[in-house]
Amino acid sequence: MTFKSGIGWKACCDEATGRYTAETGGIGAYDLYEIDRETFEQLDEQNNAEARDLIYHNGRHLYMDVNDRCGPPYTVVLDDDYRTLCPWANIVCSGRVWSDELTDFAVEAFDSEAKNREQRRKKRAERLTKETDG
């Protein structure tokens, strides 16, 4: 694995799987993303703000943990495979995990989560099939 990092972010190129992933964090927030090779290559360890913006704007959000003192802490799992995709990450979980139904709603409602709609819809269909069959 090859890493790049700066203040408030870290990115990984996993040569074995061909995946590129990243984490961002700071006081009260922690996020995981899947990124592409081009984004990874553009990350500059000397320009932290630009690197975080690239990750945020180009990445697919996998996981988020919020503990910002504006309410109780919470965790949102946007892709159930986040641990497999980011085995290197030091995952932060400080609060209650949102239900699949609430997460599905948020993904449909917020444009910032549009990159997750296809995989969330597929997972929801699989859950509904299991419920009706089982």
List pLDDT tens digits, range 31-57: 999 999 999 999 998 889 999 999 999
Token pair in block for residue 54 = 């690239």
The model's pTM is 0.89
Q: Among 51, 62, 60, 68, which residue's Cα sits nearest to residue 10? A: 51
- The per-residue DSSP string of 50-111 comes to HHHHHHHHHSEEEEEEE--SSSS-EEEES-TTHHHH-TT------SEEPPHHHHHHHHHH-G
List pLDDT tens digits, range 77-122: 999 999 999 999 989 888 799 999 999 999 999 999 999 999 999 9
